[in-house]
A and B are shown apart, each in its own frame.
Chain A
Amino acid sequence: MESLGVLLLHPMNAYLEQELDRRFRLIRLWDSPPDARADFLRSNAAAIRAVVGNAGYNADSALIDALPALEIVASFSVGIDRVDLAKCRERGIRVTNTPDVLTDDVADLAVGLAIAALRKIPQADRYVRAGLWKAKGDYTLTTRFSGKRVAILGLGRIGLAVAKRAEAFDCSISYHSRSQKPFPNYRFFTNVVDLAANCDVLIVACSLNAETHHIVSREVIHALGPEGVLINIGRGAHVDEPELVSALFEKRLGAAGLDVFEHEPFPPEQLIGLDNVVLVPHVGSDTEETCKAMADLVLQNLEAHALNKPLLTPFSGKRVGIIGLGRIGLAIATRVEAFDCPVNYYQRTKKEYPNYTYYPSVVELAANSDVLVVACPLNEQTRHIVNREVIDALGPKGVLINIGRGPHVDEPELVSALVEGRLGGAGLDVFEDEPNVPEALFTLDNVVLVPHVGSGTHETRQAMADLVLGNLEAHVLKKPLLTPVV
């Protein structure tokens, strides 16, 4: 295997750098002086097939344009807001990130920052170190963390991990995200201002994109109020920083705990002197354990790419959820993997598929997938396995594909969800009462209908016929059946 040329954009982790150097052909962008960068890239362009970036330095449009041989961007981060995804899609460049391994660290820090901000722990530490604790009893009251109403922006992996921790402090949980999730104990808000108005602590845990830029606006900060606390473990650009600074300074916002800033490593000057804010330098995932795990993911993704194997944590590609991972389900999984689609699945018993993510219920599978495929057998338990709850969890951007049996799906529910826009779209090969198809579907633009043609190819029908004939002959000749169903 000829060595993969990897461009590392910035020193980010000693172990990562050392291993990239050992396993691949490593080119360090900072080896070139900043004013000779264009020439440096030009002279190395033919060799560079991979780029490793992070939260601060990543494959933007200009860099991608300068690297015609680029095949993969492996980011040492979970957030890839600085990768030009549109350009990558256009050029067929694959993108990987480092989800899951840093979830715990970021969630730990989020809750740690909330306690630190409310109970003023760093302030106490400064006070003691400055020798100001002269007498017992000169205390400032700070308010209790337990039982506070915690609101989370974004209920993905990190948001959920934050919720689980906050629940142990008897905090009530509310959230806002693109679609409602199947957690009846958590109160869903469609509007961020309402979310902020109804909580004590607001934690930013969503990804940064065009819709979430400055999602914490002046209005939201105002709704959070003089007793409210903002914790940002997302990206600086999630928050209107000048608004935040003046609100903290004027005490229109109670307190904040910030791990990220719009212009790292430069937090706003005015925050430095404030007593109602805790500032940490983007350390959300900065533990030895997690950085090593993140580095290993980057290295393994690059190796997989070089060996033409499935990527471990591809970012591009819709998340495909498969109900039933039998022969058909597995064949679907293999195909979608080639499109860099992460594969999730549900079935009665969890099997060992290291690349596929198991969910213990169909509702959770639907909530975590963009495309839901029905590929299980029809029986008592799986009748209407796709019901209203599942359809709601799949949501207005989700797509249902049914190549199983019509009765797998609660058809009237499906139809009304599609008509009302509560479900994004569907591809249907089967129906509850074939050959009758609900007429309401005919006028819809977001539905593809086919008349039970899943196995409708000459080759397959021939093979099926041969199996039927083979089974009958075996029976007559008292030989073992070819394909008995137990």
Chain B
Amino acid sequence: METTASSTADESPLVLLVQPLFPEFAAALAGRYRFVLAADADPAAAAEARVLLVPGLAPVTAQHLARLPALELVVGTSAGVDHVDLDTCRNRGLSVTNAGPAFAVDSADYAVGLVVAVLRRVAAADAYVRRGRWAADGDYPLATKVSGKRVGIVGLGNIGSRVARRLAAFGCAVSYHSRSPKPSSPYTFVPALLDLAAGSDVLVLSCALTDETKHMVNREVMEALGKDGVLVNVGRGGLVDEPELVRCLRDGVLGGAGLDVYANEPAVPPELFGMDNVVLSDHRAVVTPESMRGVLEVITANLDAFFSGRPLVSPVQLCTLNKR
């Protein structure tokens, strides 16, 4: 049997899978590549495999990577790749790709949806109506205006820049914090996260989870955001000190939150279930047919590019992430 990794006319390139593909992805990619589950790979396949595809957020550890000596590329299917051991990838000179901009639009839409839902109490008001309380208890209490709020965005990448544009159209004043300022951006750069929080009414998290950003939203930041401040997270649960978040919300140190991600999904701190100033969502910000089609295109483009020796479409910069 051929052991060369290059494709021939009748043998598709080998791609190992960390876990099974979503049925729609499997159907779309069928016939173009030879998919084998990494756990089921025979020694020959493991020795030969150059590409590892990571459906969903399945963890990819140093041990997984160690079993694949010929590995050159890890293809992620999400925007965040914190579930992949990037240190090991960097040390071995592996390339890693993510979903690129495929999820940015829906994530941004959802973030804005959460901002409005928290400030204007949309989910709580919906529950109020469904429980018959409008007739029984009268008008729903006043909420607070979205227009004109000061919005601080953490991470002005594909998602953050789109959130900025959308909220600016609502008349919000937008500032941002990121590793470095974006000179082409019209929004105000704030070098310290604590200052951004202190000067914002709403803080939106849309950055990658790394060693540096883990628990970046801690008690100090939440205190700075304040009793009328609102936190919206469409990044990763790990960006926030979750037990502290629950305490701050419970004690009124923080005004409210809109959360699509959590430290330990699908577990959601039950103390949040009784709070009206919180909107809880099940990590669905990018679960749309449009995003699914988009990420499929990015995955296919990366695989095609790799196997024909062209530049990758959405490589993740490993040297700037996870600095030691």
Contacts and interface: CB of A to CB of B under 8 A. Distances in A.
Contact of A288 (B135, B144, B281): B144
Contacts of B200: none
Contacts of B127: 122, 126
19 contacts: A105-B145, A111-B112, A112-B116, A112-B122, A113-B122, A119-B288, A124-B282, A125-B281, A129-B273, A136-B266, A141-B287, A144-B290, A165-B169, A168-B170, A278-B126, A280-B129, A286-B139, A287-B144, A289-B148
A108 interface: yes
A77 to B, nearest CB: 13
B130 A141 contact: no
Interface of A: 104-105, 107-109, 111-113, 115-116, 119-122, 124-129, 133-137, 139-147, 164-165, 167-169, 264-267, 272, 278-283, 286-291
B281 A286 contact: no
A126, A133, A140 — which one has the most chain B CB atoms within 10 A of its CB? A133
Given A121-B281, A272-B130, A286-B139, A280 B122 contact: yes
A147 B162 CA distance: 13
A265 B135 contact: yes
A29 B108 CA distance: 48
Interface in B89-128: 105-106, 108-110, 112-114, 116-117, 120-123, 125-128
A331 to B, nearest CB: 36
A259 to B, nearest CB: 9
A146 B288 CA distance: 11
B230 to A, nearest CB: 14
Nearest to A258: B129
Nearest to B166: A168
Given A128-B280, A129-B273, A286-B140, A165 B135 contact: no
B171 interface: yes
B122 to A, nearest CB: 5
Interface in B179-224: none
A146 B282 CA distance: 20
B40 interface: no
Given A121-B123, A124-B281, A139-B287, 20 more contacts: A104-B145, A104-B146, A108-B120, A108-B146, A109-B116, A112-B112, A121-B281, A124-B284, A125-B281, A142-B287, A144-B288, A145-B109, A164-B169, A165-B166, A168-B169, A265-B134, A281-B128, A283-B120, A286-B140, A286-B142
A15 B109 CA distance: 35
Interface of B: 56-57, 105-106, 108-110, 112-114, 116-117, 120-123, 125-130, 132, 134-135, 138-140, 142-148, 165-166, 168-171, 265-266, 268, 273, 279-284, 287-292
B106 A146 contact: yes
B120 A112 contact: yes
Given A122-B122, A128-B280, A169-B166, A143 B290 contact: yes
B143 A287 contact: yes
Given A115-B116, A281-B139, A289-B145, A168 B282 contact: no
Given A112-B122, A280-B129, A142 B139 contact: no
Given A134-B266, A168-B166, A281-B134, A287 B284 contact: no
A108 B151 CA distance: 15
A396 B72 CA distance: 70
Nearest 3 interchain pairs by C-beta: A112-B116, A168-B169, A115-B113
Nearest to A145: B109
Contacts of B113: 112, 115-116, 119, 121, 145
B129 A115 contact: no
Given A122-B127, A125-B279, A267-B134, A112 B146 contact: yes
B282 A127 contact: yes
B123 A122 contact: yes
Nearest to B282: A133
Contacts of B284: 119-120, 124, 139-140, 142
Nearest to B133: A281
Given A128-B282, A139-B284, A146-B109, A287 B142 contact: yes
A264 B120 CA distance: 19
B29 to A, nearest CB: 18
A264 to B, nearest CB: 8
B289 A141 contact: yes
Given A109-B116, A136-B283, A287 B56 contact: no
Given A128-B268, A141-B288, A279 B129 contact: yes
Nearest to B126: A122
A128 to B, nearest CB: 4
A103 to B, nearest CB: 9
Contacts of A105: 145-147
Nearest to B265: A136
A96 B312 CA distance: 63
A252 to B, nearest CB: 21
A128 B271 CA distance: 12
Nearest to B122: A116
